[in-house]
Amino acid sequence: MSRSPGAGRFAPSPSADLHIGNLRTAILAWLFARTTGRRFLMRVEDLDDRTFPEVAARQLDDLAALGLDWDGPTEYQTAHGHRYDAAIAELSGRGLTFECYCSRKDILSAPRAPHAPEGAYPGTCRDLTDAQREQRRTTGRPPALRLRSDVTEYTVSDVLHGDYTGVVDDLVLRRGDGVPAYNLAVVVDDAATGIDQVVRGDDLLSSSPRQAYLAALLGHSAPVYAHVPLVLNAEGKRLAKRDGAVTLAEIGVAAALRQIADSLGYRSATVGGMLDEFDPARLPREPWIYRPA
């Protein structure tokens, strides 16, 4: 097999231990990368102040215990602030950013264009005059920095979903507390590390048009996307601690691998065996309803 110059990745946020759904997605990301000759990279998304180094260490230990390996050292977003600053400086230098003083409540309560999804930025601060901007600064609320988008939607291609067109608004690049926003950080990090394949839960499919558009503005190609079905509880909701045994420490390595393999229709309960059986065309398209044994 010829080796792709690119890479796939898994990028957990260390706010809580990985649950069976996260572990399943990690295995799928590894399978996609390894079967396409790509490197597989690990990135800890630890910019948020609700993340913890000890949780990151447990997450990495759990992934290794499943049999996953990755190429090169694990990256931590907190070590790469210069990347995000440089991208923001470039966009600002091109007149593609503006300060936003809106709270979440302001955004949700503001009038918006017909058919615009709830939560989409309504453009409140986009065209403030200098006087209006100065008046808002006197309130003491530190502004977020937003992208001045010139499109309202963008289309990406997904291995499992085909072409997907989603909303693009004036997304946040840097939060009011100075922390780089998720959509900026993932785009910049993927480009900096040669990631050209993104496999993740399909709850993030709607984020892909924003990220692909931002990547294009920064001169990067969009990655190959594969948004895989989530794992839900018996009530059809996202897994949570109240659902019982959902972490690797609670389930055990052998049982977790067997459950994940069964959910994917694989005979083998090792990641090496799953690699031999892997075929993206045969992946389930519906969520896996998880019921703890």
32: CATH? 3.40.50.620
Please tell me the distance from the alpha carbon of residue 284 to that of residue 28, in angstroms, as a whole number.
12
Answer yes or no: do 176 and 272 share one domain.
no
Q: Is 58 annotated as a binding residue?
A: no
Q: Is 200 annotated as a binding residue?
A: yes
Mean pLDDT of the chain: 94
Q: Is 125 annotated as a binding residue?
A: yes
Q: Is 182 annotated as a binding residue?
A: yes
The model's pTM? 0.93
Q: Would you say 183 and 149 are in contact if contact means Cβ atoms under 8 Å apart?
A: no
pLDDT of residue 292: 83
Answer yes or no: do 235 and 153 share one domain.
no
Cα 47 to chain centroid distance, Å, stands at: 13
Closest CA to 156 of 59, 108, 82, 221: 221
Q: Which residue has the tokens 């609320």?
A: 141
Q: Is 241 annotated as a binding residue?
A: yes
Measured on CA atoms in the order 198, 200, 206, 210, is the torsion positive or negative? negative
Q: Which domain holds residue 30?
A: 7-79+229-289
pLDDT of residue 5: 67
Q: Is 38 annotated as a binding residue?
A: no
Query: Does 1 reside within a domain?
Result: no
Answer yes or no: do 144 and 223 share one domain.
yes
Q: Mind listing the pLDDT tens digit for each residue in 41-74? A: 999 999 999 999 999 999 999 999 999 999 999 9
Q: Is 118 annotated as a binding residue?
A: no
